[in-house]
Amino acid sequence: MSLSYKNIEPLIISGKNIFSKWLGYFGLGIGVLLLLVSMQMFVNIQQLLKENNPRKSGGYDFISISKTITNDNMGKDNSFTNADLAKLREQPTIAGVAPLISNKFRVRATAGDIIPFSTDLFLESINNNYIDTVPPSFTWQPGQITVPIIFSSDFLEMYNVFAPAQGLPQLSAKTISSINIILECSGPYGSQNFKGSIVALSDRINSLLVPQSFMNWSNMYFMRDTAVHASRVYIKTKDANDPKLISYLDQQGYHLNKDKVKFSRIKSILQNIVSALGVFGILVIVLALMLFSFYLQLMIAKSKDNLRLLLTLGYSPKWLASSVAKTWLPVYLSIIVVALVLTQILHLLFMQLSFVKVENLSYFLNWRVWLTAIFLFALTIFINLRLVKKELGNIL
């Protein structure tokens, strides 16, 4: 018969109060489950709401602001002055500012013979760095007849909604680039026709964008006007949901296009909830481990005389500590395994939800969840062993 915990088991008095032991197991299980599930859900939300977010690139959010139109300022000039722009640039939460410059002259667009369509139009220009899709052809030089245009994909969508009712053909993103638009530009100082060609669609900026060089030239040529009149300004910021930024913009009476940041707000709220759940899980784990440690202290205190006698007889303190600690190993392992299985089941149930795009998610738990489970297992074993050693040391 070789030496094992079984030989000394009858000498370790576990006490009648097994309620606290089971409460500890239960608490630990709940805590581990909460932590693992919240981690997996955090990752799921991250994956699902990763969004091909056009506002975001290189870690920056691009959002448009305009001055809020109220009954008081209605009819006045509500464009941004250079001073306004300079003030915006000073804000630490704002990494960059670019005004959208609009045309002062009149622009009329006709789509030629293919689509019997003609309308007054507005054009805008902005620093190329603020546009999400800039093809190499998006340049213009004086004398050039063709003007490249970046068209808002929202506008295209809108057009396709009302086009059938108006007897106009619906257009795909591809065909729109093949349409030749005649731009009839006119002002007090002259008029000229240009050929407009849509070179790209922008998800970020709701406008008809032309190169800055064309806008500068034409405002000067048709209107002799070089002043900046920007009714909209794009700002580049690390976090569009930064409360400091939002309160500053509110203070200034600037209107933020909330629709664009709603998505990331939902995401951050969801992630905050899930994180709070995770923190709660950690708290429960800590409490459960504390309960265990009380249970362990009680157990060792009750078995004090027997343990002392075992040591007197020649049992090694190290062996005693590790064999007493080892008895919890299967319990801890089962708790972690059960929590992992439940997390996996919950994850699969989550994937059944109607709004979840299954192709964005893996059926298996994220590696971070596995790693956390392994870490928790190691941690509980480590804490347990240390506690047993400490308690044994105390009775020697």
Partner 1 sequence: MQIQLRKIIPGYIEQEKRSTSQVWEQNISIRKGEHLHIVAPSGSGKTSLMHFIYGLRKDYSGSIFYDDMDIKKLSTESFSAFRQNKISIIFQDLRLFENQTVKENIEIKRILDPYHQSQKIDEMAKRLGIENKLNQSVKTCSYGEQQRIAIIRALMQPFDFLLLDEPYSHLDEVNREKAMDLIYEECAKRNAAMVFADLKPLDFFKDEKIIYL
Site residues (CB under 8 A) for partner 1?
A: 1-3, 7-8, 10-11, 306, 309-318, 396
* DSSP code of residue 105: S
Least distance (Å) from partner 1 to the CB of residue 339?
36
* Shortest Å, Cβ 297 to partner 1: 20
Q: Least Å distance between CB 1 and partner 1?
A: 6
Closest separation between CB of residue 20 and partner 1, Å? 23
Residue with smaller CB distance to partner 1, 283 or 309 = 309
* Residue 22 beta carbon to partner 1: minimum distance, rounded to whole angstroms: 25
What is the closest distance, in whole angstroms, from the C-beta atom of residue 11 to partner 1 in the complex? 6
Of 303 and 343, the one with the shorter C-beta distance to partner 1 is 303
Residue 394 DSSP one-character state: H
Nearer to partner 1, 250 or 305 (CB): 305
Q: Which is nearer to partner 1, 190 or 393 (CB)?
A: 393
Q: Return phi, psi of residue 255, to 5°.
A: -105, 130
Cα angle value 228/201/69 (rounded, 5°):
40
Taking CA 392 as the corner, what is the angle to CA 388 and CA 395, rounded to the nearest 5 degrees? 150
Query: Whole-number minimum distance, CB 305 to partner 1, in Å?
Result: 9
Which run of H or E residues covers position 350? helix 329-352
Cβ-in-10-Å burial (0-12, 13-18, 19+) of 188 comes to: exposed
Judge residue 56's burial from the number of C-beta atoms within 10 Å of its C-beta, 0-12 exposed, 13-18 middle, 19 or more buried.
middle
CB nearer to partner 1: pick between 11 and 266: 11
Which stretches of the chain are assigned E, i.e. beta strand?
A: 56-57, 60-67, 94-102, 106-110, 118-121, 124-125, 146-152, 180-187, 190-202, 208-209, 230-237, 254-256
Residue among 50 and 318 whose Cβ is closer to partner 1: 318
Q: How far is the CB of 388 from partner 1 (least distance, A)?
A: 15
The three-point CA angle 265-270-273 to 5° equals: 125
Q: How far is CA 96 from CA 62, 167, 305, 391, in A?
A: 9, 43, 74, 61
DSSP β-ladder status, 146-152 and 190-202: parallel
For partner 1, give the closer residue by CB, 314 or 330.
Answer: 314
> How many whole angstroms from its chain centre is CA 62?
14
CB of 36 or CB of 324, closer to partner 1: 324
CA–CA distance, 374 with 32 (Å, rounded to integer): 11
